[in-house]
A = this chain, B = another copy of it.
């Protein structure tokens, strides 16, 4: 079969012939019709992931046909028995197990779920990892509810955009930040009330004025210098969900603000099988259509990886493999 294979770090993966997987007992062979790119794939290709093995078929997100029926793949394996955290053996398909950037993948029966009926393969492939991560941080961890004010930082990435869609669908009042005015405009078309460009130093004040009061929930994947502003933007009882840390360590965090305002800072990554099932239910109930940024063929994967490396995307970068 054809597959996008990483042979060595710091090189783009290449489309090549690769041995077609043979399903073991309790496994299912999925004929992939679409897949989607995640930052994880880019980091692995750049050698910025622990324990990278070669050769590996990259890709954590996929939708396709199993036994003739459309399915979506749950990317996590072995979450474990505690809903609060993943077990040590937990992994995501696409490293070290071969992933979805291929004609076929073998996955456990439990990882294959019916594709939501309102979605096609391209949009269904855009859902799994971003949807799972967004659902867990927004609902399972931050316990966000209708009517609450939610700030989503760095809008544009797959998880942030999915959080925006979920929050709007659930009846929250959503605000965003971005380094791009264009992305803020796109967020508004998706239902955000407004946003601020964080390249301006006045962004915290702008958000405060837009919202008229503090935030009940903030969803952040940056950390770094701006995090202290997020704490100040929180209402009493506010929750800050952290699912990434692209800006590095957080300096100068005030314990006084945290305890006096009864703030919760809640780390979250990926999600359990239960989170995944609840996320799919939510997507079906609200007929949510994931935002697809651009569609590439696997032959042009280099362009897809470049687009994500440069942070140009709004929503998911998808591969059409039909």
Residues in chain A within 8 A of chain B (CB atoms): 82, 84-86, 141, 222-224, 227, 236-237, 242-245, 248-269
A231's nearest neighbour on chain B, judged by CB, is B267
Q: How far is the CA of A264 from the CA of B262 in the complex (A)?
A: 12
Q: How far is the CA of A237 from the CA of B223 in the complex (A)?
A: 19
Chain B nearest CB from A256 CB (Å) reads 5
A90's nearest neighbour on chain B, judged by CB, is B236
Q: Which residues of B contact A265 (CB under 8 A)?
A: 258, 264-266
Q: Which residues of B contact A244 (CB under 8 A)?
A: 255, 259
> Is A259 within 8 A of B267, CB to CB?
yes
> Is B236 within 8 A of A259, CB to CB?
no
Chain B nearest CB from A112 CB (Å) reads 26
A to B CB contacts below 8 Å, 6 in the list? A85-B261, A86-B262, A222-B255, A243-B259, A249-B252, A264-B265
> Is B242 within 8 A of A258, CB to CB?
yes
Chain B nearest CB from A45 CB (Å) reads 19
**This chain: copies in complex:** 2
Q: Which residues of B contact A242 (CB under 8 A)?
A: 255, 258-259
User: Among the listed B85, B222, B262, B269, which residue makes an inter-chain contact with A269, where contact means beta carbons less than 8 Å apart?
Assistant: B262
> Is A245 within 8 A of B237, CB to CB?
no
Which among A243, A248, A254, A255 has the greatest number of chain B C-beta atoms within 10 A?
A255
Q: How far is the CA of A244 from the CA of B261 in the complex (A)?
A: 12
Q: Which residues of B contact A263 (CB under 8 A)?
A: 267
A236's nearest neighbour on chain B, judged by CB, is B85
> Is B253 within 8 A of A250, CB to CB?
yes
Q: Which residues of B contact A141 (CB under 8 A)?
A: 262
Q: How far is the CA of A147 from the CA of B4 in the complex (A)?
A: 48
A83's nearest neighbour on chain B, judged by CB, is B237
> Is A84 within 8 A of B245, CB to CB?
no
Q: A223-B255, A252-B249, A256-B245 are in contact. Are A84 and B262 (CB under 8 A)?
A: yes
User: Among the listed B86, B248, B256, which residue makes an inter-chain contact with A236, where contact means beta carbons less than 8 Å apart?
Assistant: B86
